[in-house]
Structure 1
Amino acid sequence: MSTPTTTAAGGPGGPGGPSAVPAKGLRAGILDLGDSVMLGLASTAPVYSLAATLGLIVAVNGNYTPLILLLGFVPVLFIAYAFRELNSAMPDCGTTFIWARRAFGPWAGWLGGWGVALAGVVVLANLAQVAGQYLWLLIGDGSLAGNSLVVTATGVVFIAFMTMVNYRGIRLGEHVQRVLTYVQYGSLGIFALAIVVRITGAPGGAPGGAIAGQAFDLEWFNPVGAFADPGAVVHGALLALFIYWGWDTCLALNEETENPARTPGRGAVISAFVLVAIYVSVALLVMMYASVGTEGIGLGNEANRSDVFLAMKDAVLGPWGWLIVVAVLASVLSSTQTTILPTARGTLSMGVHGALPAKFGEVHERNRTPGFSTQVMGAAAIAYYVLMSLVSENLLSDSISSISLFIAFYYALTGFACVWYFRGTLGSSARNLWFRGILPLLGALLLTAAFFISAVQMWDPGYGGTRILGVGGAFVSGVVLLALGVVLAVVCRFAPATRDYFRNQPAPAV
């Protein structure tokens, strides 16, 4: 019996067409635009991302941090347009895997799918670590947050629980996600409002009137002043670039979204714009309240760089400081769930298209979820987290730093795939030229540059906490994990169950 297909518009389609998408058995049409945007926002772990990165950017760029956050957003926006355009033609949950295959062939597709899965598995280890620490910060005197065995065990439980939630069904996952999102953004909103009250010296604010942090200055957005040190701008922009990662989750759920060819792409672009607005506005408030100084709660204080919100919570919220801890915890739990979603659907698509054994392409009959793929992703994340924790916590941290390489790799590949796949239509209209050609190409080039600049930085043996053969541990971790994808692709090339994938050429680009 032939495999049923759908077109980009979601209707019946013939096999072999450039927009034919195999029906995989997922629960179609269950998510709307609001759900899509919410998933895009939740996947980035915005509260945690900002808390953990803001101090690092301030250390490099000082008061120009808001501008740097905007600069880091530029390539992300350009790639968001590439995702949107490719999804409009091929709304397949494999996203980068299927798009790179259609544009460049089976090898590029397989490695693109590996990049997505790899980034997901490694970041789950980071999220589990943070979730474990923050849970125990809320319990008792917080001393257990420093116990590596307790934190690791707690992180494993969190990954297992979120894997179970995703396995049980997209609607259950959406309900859990909505609760976590409300908690996360509600707590962040209270935190921001409290800062406003203290800055203005409004009733209920700080005793004695307004806080003497620093007044808003348009100079913070002056590119001439910022680029007086180009190296600092590049370094800061690289840090800012990757706090936006995750909005593409809504594209991986395209087959479960209303109007799969249009809604997920709109959700991705909307969530990207909402994220930059949140990041810049919260950064401005925090800078005005705490300043970028190196003393006390100042963002430039080296002791605060790992989490500026944690350093400020008591000064801003007083006895309610635990709210920001809850916000970060909800943020990482939310991201844990939404990171498993796209990785599982990516390997599902690879299984359906023959790039992985057919078992990966199975959908649970009752739950209508990628049952086997979800279990494998959860197990892989747990195994990686436990193994790296046992070997060395410093090496775990350095391997997490290498995520930037994986993200830049598959985002850039998506941008190049967009330009090449639509190359025949770029001259048909100004819209196509910009949104299918110029902007995706610029985004891909910027991310390619980010990949190599990050790799050079990681090569330095002083980068991070480990050194392997005289080279930074983050670089070695990144290269080894990416190279593992090449090895696995070669294995699949000759394995009886998957070799046909590499033999069959995809339909031509448009």
Structure 2
Amino acid sequence: MSEIKSGELKRELGLMGVITNVLSISIGSGIFLLPALVYVILGPSSILAYIFCGLIFLCLGLCFGELSSRIPDTGGMYVYIQRAFGPMAGFISNILYWLGVGVLACGALMNALADIAGTYFPVFQLTWVRITFFGAIIIFSCFLNIKGIKDSMLFIKVLTWTKVVSLMLLVIFGFTRIDPANIAWQGFPEFGKIGEASILLIFAFLGGELALASGGEMKNPSRTGPLGFIIGIVLVILAFCAIHLAAQGVLGTSMLSNQEAPLAELAKALFGEVGFLIVLALSFIAVWSTLSSILTLLPRVLYAGAKDGLLPDVFSKIHPTYRSPFVAIVFLGFLEFGFAASGSFRYLLVLVTGASLLIYFGAVLAFLKLRWNSKNQDPKIFKVPGGNLIGLITLIALAWVFFQLTNKELLALGIFILVLILLYIPVAIFKNKKLRTIKKNI
């Protein structure tokens, strides 16, 4: 008898795969700019913003870890919200996630890749070359993804661990050249300044939770999901802190005049002019790694929505040989290519941060609701000690961050959600009609 039931995805993703996806998505292009941007605001006390932001994301990691143990299914944040609050909340969060966050982020990342390549190879500034490049990336990613998450993860692991190891080597070399005066404590800064710097950092941390979207393909998901995600978040926090300390310790106040490329300046200080090429190649790998993880995981969210009957059934189709959600993969591949090639994603990027925060807010509310409604606690479920308090603290922190968004971002998000609510009405009518028909035929 086959180990895989008909209509199920293959369980091929282990603990290291989840950790890798968290690192892949969270340690992206932002890390090459953050040290200088944070230093401009906080100066020598910059590490405080990393600690403050790290605590917020550690709380999020604990909440999401417990959710992934309670609901070890494909879909990640979407499926947690849908199970807690019903189909309408599920419909909104599903489309908000894969379209309002994922597809737009992919469009931006593909263009970032072409821009990085264009700094050394001017041919990438030509429109037809960029479009061909985008097409090649999408075809390659879709091919690996359709063959199964195991093949995609092999490529992602190579990119991610090349990026992580290279950055850590840069940090280690940097620590040998630190000037203690550059990191000397000079008093506690204003809390408002810490908040301002933390906003930048929170935006950089966004996305790692997508690693949980592959719950239906994890081995022992009730353990693999929470453990892998929490370990990944802790490693990201430590990596961000170490990279900043190396940059600040070596460059000091010179970061103020090198705000656009602090890590390039760090590499130059350590390795001379060849350092620029090292960081250029590393930034290309970092962006490609992040993009590859999103391209691999995002179709799982669309697939989960279709499987739950909130989106057209065709997106829940599984490849008969490879057991992958091939229709969702191909559909999103076309969509991502179209947005990247046309440049239309730029007009909608205003949605990304707000949509991410709203989904986080919904998932933490789901965490609290499922905890309060759970009478019979399965001993196998990972349960966060003091989870109710952690959940409430996390909601307050997210609300504070959310209202730091601009009026333009809030308006765009409000309009998008209103459109999704209007779209849900015919979906609900069709679904109810279908259920009545099924009951009549029984």
Report the CA distance between 1:136 and its aligned residue.
2.8
- After superposition, the CA RMSD in angstroms is 3.1
Higher alpha-carbon deviation: 99-108 or 305-314? 305-314
Find the partner of 1:233 among 174, 194, 201: 194
Alignment of 1:116-195 (within 5 A): 116-117=97-98, 118-139=100-121, 143-144=122-123, 150-151=129-130, 153-195=132-174
Q: 1:404 to 1:435 in 2, by over 3 A?
A: farther
Aligned partner of residue 339 in structure 2, secondary structure: helix
Does the 8 Å contact 2:175/2:249 carry over to 1? Answer: no
The superposition leaves residues 238-278 of structure 1 with CA deviations (integer Å, 9 ceiling, x where unpaired) of 11112222322331122212211111111000000000000
Offset at residue 152 of structure 1 (A) = 5.5
1:50-69 to structure 2, matched below 5 A, reads: 50-69=31-50
Residue matched to 1:350: 305
Find the counterpart in structure 2 of residue 406 from structure 1: 355
Distance 1:146 1:326 in 2: 17
Q: Is the 8 A contact 2:250 2:266 kept in 1?
A: no
Counterpart of 2:394 (choices 423, 430, 443) is: 443
Write out aligned runs for 1:211-290 (5 A): 214-219=181-186, 225-226=188-189, 228=190, 230-290=191-251
- Structure 1 CA distance for aligned equivalents of residues 432 and 271 of structure 2: 56
Q: Report the Cα distance in structure 1 between the residues aligned to 2:42 and 2:96, rounded to whole angstroms.
A: 30
SS at 2:343 equivalent: helix
The TM-score normalised by the length of structure 2 is 0.87
Change (3 A) 1:151 1:58: farther
1:359 aligns with 2:326: no
Q: Deviation at 1:314?
A: 3.0
1:102 equivalent to 2:63? Answer: no
Match of 2:428 among 482, 488, 493: 493
Q: Distance in 2 between matches of 1:23 and 1:279?
A: 43
Aligned equivalent of 1:5: none
Q: 1:148 and 1:71, CA in 2 relative to 1: closer, same or farther beyond 3 A?
A: farther
Structure with higher helix content: 2
**Counterparts of 1:487 and 1:306 in 2: how far apart (Å)?**
42
Take 2:375 and 2:287, find their aligned partners in 1: how far apart are those partners? 40
State the distance in 1 between where 2:399 and 2:435 align: 27
Amino acid at match of 2:423: L
The correspondence for 2:280, drawn from 303, 325, 340, is 325
2-structure distance, mates of 1:58, 1:374: 41
In structure 1, give the amino acid aligned to 2:237. Answer: V
Task: Report the residue type matching 2:113 in the other structure.
Answer: A
CA distance in 2, matches of 1:116, 1:485: 12
Match among 254, 258, 264 for residue 310 of structure 1: 264
Distance 1:288 1:433, change over 3 A: closer
Partner of 2:334: 379
- Unaligned 5+ runs, structure 2: none
Q: Does 2:66 match 1:85? A: yes
Aligned residues: 431
| Greater relative contact order (CA < 8 Å, ≥ 6 in sequence) | 2
3-state SS, counterpart of residue 46 of structure 2 = helix
Aligned-partner residue type, residue 299 of structure 1? M
Where does residue 341 of structure 1 map in the other structure? 296
Alpha-carbon spacing, 1:361–1:47, altered in 2? closer, same or farther (3 Å): closer
Bigger drift between 146-155 and 61-70 goes to 146-155
Q: Is the 8 A contact 1:122 1:381 kept in 2?
A: yes
Structure 1 equivalent of residue 325 of structure 2: 370
Could you say what secondary structure the match of 1:350 adopts? helix
Distance 1:424 1:412 in 2: 18
- Which of residues 421, 430, 433 in structure 1 aligns to 2:370? 421
Shift of residue 115, structure 1, vs aligned partner: 2.7
Deviation at 1:383, TM superposition (A): 2.0
Q: Hey, what does 1:300 align to over in structure 2?
A: 256
Is the Cα–Cα contact under 8 Å of residues 357 and 498 in structure 1 kept in the other structure?
A: no
